[in-house]
Amino acid sequence: MPPMPPITKAFMLACVGMFCVQLLLPFAFLDLLLALWPLGSGQFWPWQVVTYAFLHGGVVHLFFNMLGLWMFGSEIERLWGSRRYLQFLVASVLAAAAAQLVFTQLIGSVTPTVGASGALFGLLLAFGMMFPNRTIIPLFPPIPMKAKVFVAVFGGLELLLGLQGGSGIAHFAHLGGMLGGFLMIRYWRGQAPFGRRR
């Protein structure tokens, strides 16, 4: 197993560290300050569009996000290098936050959002674009499939579940992370909707 690259390792350690702090502090203090609160909640602050990604709602939430970061993020970081990888993570996190803020504003929700899932779904899309024919076996269901199929299935499920609503999961943040990652790759390639790079 190759060593974990530095940005992926730092992101994972920060998420685990923040989760431990969440467990120690009473009255969900970090959630009030750092979670992504809807614009109409009276609790929103600009820094939350980044800090929400370091908080998690439970051990299972943290475990699956960290597993995904390790599985997909490590290889993408080795391919792109730390600087471009960090830019991509930030784009995915910000796009996920923007999508979630728009969605919660439309439905009038005052529930906060936490988790690195937006970044993870951006990385998932990047993996599918960089290694479209790589065969992977997801945990659920454990069926071998090509990465591009896996990404398409997950994206479709997120859209379907998001439209159904009521699950308590930020499906549109996940889709926003994928969109942000897609646009970042298009920008690097000089493809529409961006102009040709010089």
Give percent of the chain with pLDDT exceeding 90: 75
How high is the mean pLDDT of the chain?
A: 91
Establish if 196 belongs to a structural domain.
Answer: no
- Per the DSSP assignment, residues forming a β-bridge with 136 are 145
Confidence class for position 12, pLDDT limits 50, 70, 90 = very high
Confidence class for position 31, pLDDT limits 50, 70, 90 = confident
Rounded to 10°, the helix 82-107/171-189 angle is: 140
Establish if 194 belongs to a structural domain.
Answer: no
Alpha-carbon span 147 to 49, nearest angstrom: 29
Give the pLDDT of residue 196. 67
Q: Which residue has the tokens 């920060």?
A: 14
pTM (predicted TM-score) = 0.92
| Average pLDDT rounded to a whole number, residues 152-169 | 86
Rounded to 10°, the helix 6-24/59-68 angle is: 180
Establish if 197 belongs to a structural domain.
Answer: no
Pick the catalytic residue from 56, 74, 92, 174: 174
Give the pLDDT of residue 167. 72
Establish if 97 belongs to a structural domain.
Answer: yes
Q: Is 174 a catalytic residue?
A: yes
Give the pLDDT of residue 51. 97
**Domain around 114:** 6-189
The domain total for the chain is: 1
| Average pLDDT rounded to a whole number, residues 22-46 | 88
| Average pLDDT rounded to a whole number, residues 184-189 | 93
**What CATH number does residue 123 fall under?**
1.20.1540.10
pLDDT in tens, 63-118: 999 999 999 999 999 999 999 999 999 999 999 999 999 999 999 999 999 999 99
Contacts 24+ apart (CB under 8 A), 163-172: 165/107, 168/111, 170/96, 170/100, 170/113, 170/115, 170/117, 170/118, 172/99, 172/100, 172/102, 172/103
Pick the catalytic residue from 74, 92, 117, 171: 117
Give the pLDDT of residue 73. 95
Give percent of the chain with pLDDT exceeding 70: 96
pLDDT in tens, 123-145: 999 999 999 999 988 777 788 99
Confidence class for position 3, pLDDT limits 50, 70, 90 = confident
